[in-house]
Structure 1
């Protein structure tokens, strides 16, 4: 009996380049991440990490080459990819005049989640915001916004979680909570792609590392 075919990679970059005007943010990048592995992206500011994450999230399209998520083309199958991917970015995209609880309930209803209020309450407890559930987000500190943004990502239950500097603006307790959440995501089978300047934390959480310089992979 023939063996079952191997699953497609969690992520695959096929000779990918992305240009802004005359500047190449990503240049001729080829890389494949197997399912069941998580990836640490490192590199100085402007090295291409955020652009790479946005290409996977379908917020950008490559100038050349092809990006795939679990075998799906991020341009040709954009909507299907978006259902499987969630991006934690520098911009939180939160509703400023709603409370933390209301922000999660709105998204839960859009996603068709059963018992949205109860699910929202549970997620706020997981990210340490139970005492601030009725305050409008415009009153939140940067660290509180980051906690709420990760709760939104967890609500989506992605197959691939893209985390762009997830430890930024967090205090030590928040960093520890974020490490625990990333560990739980991995245990549940989620592919994590982590871009961070905190190399020690990143290396402890990811099995693979891709170092970028001026949009090119210099170590993997």
Structure 2
């Protein structure tokens, strides 16, 4: 699903976290959102997830304005954050069965998704007993369970070992290849670089670059986030 922001601003306590952001995210692309701490990255992701409402402007999901987006639109979104947001008093399988029902998906998909993230062996363990990396794998499974057409990733490799990173990255690439719109917020440019084809750079809440990646991510970051290059 295409996402478009039109002159979007977001204000917290009379200060702008995001200013006049006009951006387009196309289906079948994977976009890294880069910027220093406080640049507005997580605010942008919150707006794209519909969890936040803009103070100014509008976010469009396909042709639907975010102000009119309902449960049907939100059901198209998968979100992975650096906090797992799973139920610790349920097993891994029970967590996914619960979310499958929310998304009107068959619970028969649960075992297949647990296998994809490498948690089949722990399907019936309580999430409260999981390591940090296992919790992150479960969060990734939750986000991918309903094959979302929008996949939003906020530091998705948090807590994962190298094998977990490689497994997760393959799943994120698979989502892009089946036509999902994938948007990343990450500080780990080296790990994310092979899976990203577009870049958005924010500086002090303003977009300083959006375009196809043609150089290493660290170069885009240095040029547009640290030095404040021009908008493309």
Relative to the length of structure 2, the TM-score reads 0.85
- Once the two structures are superposed, the pairs formed by residues 156-167 of structure 1 within 5 Å of their partners are 156-167=146-157
Seen in structure 2, the aligned counterparts of structure 1 residues 33 and 109 have a Cα distance that, compared at 3 Å, is closer
Q: Give 1:135 deviation, angstroms.
A: 1.5
State yes or no: 1:173 paired with 2:169. no
Q: Give 1:104 deviation, angstroms.
A: 0.8
Deviations 1:74-133 (A, max 9, x none): 11224332121121123322111111011111222333323x1x3211111110112211
Aligned-partner Cα distance in 2 for 1:82–1:126: 24
Across the aligned residues of Structure 1 and Structure 2, the Cα RMSD in angstroms comes to: 1.5
**Structure 2, unpaired ranges of 5+:** 211-232
Aligned to 1:189: 179
Please tell me whether the aligned partners of residues 92 and 146 of structure 1 are also in contact (alpha carbons under 8 angstroms): yes
Aligned-partner Cα distance in 1 for 2:93–2:152: 23
Where do 4+ consecutive residues of structure 1 move more than 3 Å?
A: none
Aligned to 2:195: 205
Aligned-partner Cα distance in 1 for 2:77–2:70: 10
Relative to the length of structure 1, the TM-score reads 0.90
State yes or no: 1:131 paired with 2:121. yes
Seen in structure 2, the aligned counterparts of structure 1 residues 78 and 113 have a Cα distance that, compared at 3 Å, is closer
- Once the two structures are superposed, the pairs formed by residues 24-173 of structure 1 within 5 Å of their partners are 24-114=16-106, 116=107, 118-173=108-163
SS of corresponding position for 2:145: helix
Aligned to 1:5: none
